[in-house]
Amino acid sequence: MWLADISYLPTAEGFLYFAAMKDLCTKKIVGWSMSQTIDAQLAVDALDMAIARQRPPAGLIVHSDRGSQYASAAFRGKLAEHQMRQSMSRRGNCYDNAPMESFFSSLKGEYLEHQRFATHGAARTAVFTYVETFYNRVRLHSSIGYRPPNEFEMMLKQAA
């Protein structure tokens, strides 16, 4: 199962929106995208990256909140094209997507809390650095045996 959500980062140039997709099993951020606009394409781009990187089997469940980006024809069409199943949070229930919210909390609390970004480019670089060089490769997760997501994913592949 993958989880999907969108957050934002304030910059001097305005908000930069950040969509991410997390593998609930490995805790890995499998896809992400950033944009100055919070639209369906932002969510589709994160899904495209996840699909290209992970090549998931048919039937994979993708869970998100009830945001218009995830209810859009573009996002739903991409799921159908890859034979994925959509799941959405219940109305007014923020706990359904808590692991995704936890990722954004870690990003902002562990890494971005004291940073101020003059440009969208600076914010993009910071997010890339956190996700690709720290969160997936180094950050330990108690729920997967105090291993980083990439290591845990490799262990699962070797066991299969």
Q: What is each CA distance from 91 to 66, 69, 77, 96, in whole angstroms?
A: 7, 16, 22, 10
**For residue 145, is it within any domain?**
no
Residue 27 reports pLDDT greater than 80: yes
- Would residue 105 count as lying in a domain? no
Query: Does residue 9 belong to any structural domain of this protein?
Result: yes
Residues in the chain: 160
Does residue 65 form part of some domain? Answer: yes
- Sheet order of strands, 85-88 included: 29-35, 16-23, 2-9, 61-64, 85-88
Q: Structure tokens of 98?
A: 């808590």
Residue 32 forms part of a structural domain: yes
CATH number of the domain where residue 78 is located: 3.30.420.10
Domain count, the chain: 1
Q: Does residue 11 form part of some domain? A: yes
What pLDDT is attached to residue 78?
Answer: 98
Give yes or no for a contact between 126 and 108, defined as CB atoms under 8 angstroms apart. Answer: no
Q: Are 62 and 4 in contact (CB under 8 A)?
A: yes
pLDDT attached to residue 117: 96
Domain that holds residue 16: 2-93
Sign, CA dihedral 48-52-53-57, equals positive
Taking only the tens place, the pLDDT of each residue in 113-138 is: 889 999 999 999 999 999 999 999 99
Q: Is residue 7 part of a domain?
A: yes
pLDDT tens figures, 45-97:
999 999 999 999 999 999 999 899 999 999 999 999 999 999 998 776 666 78
pTM of the full structure: 0.94
Whether 121 maps to a domain, the answer reads no
pLDDT band at 108; cut points 50, 70, 90: very high
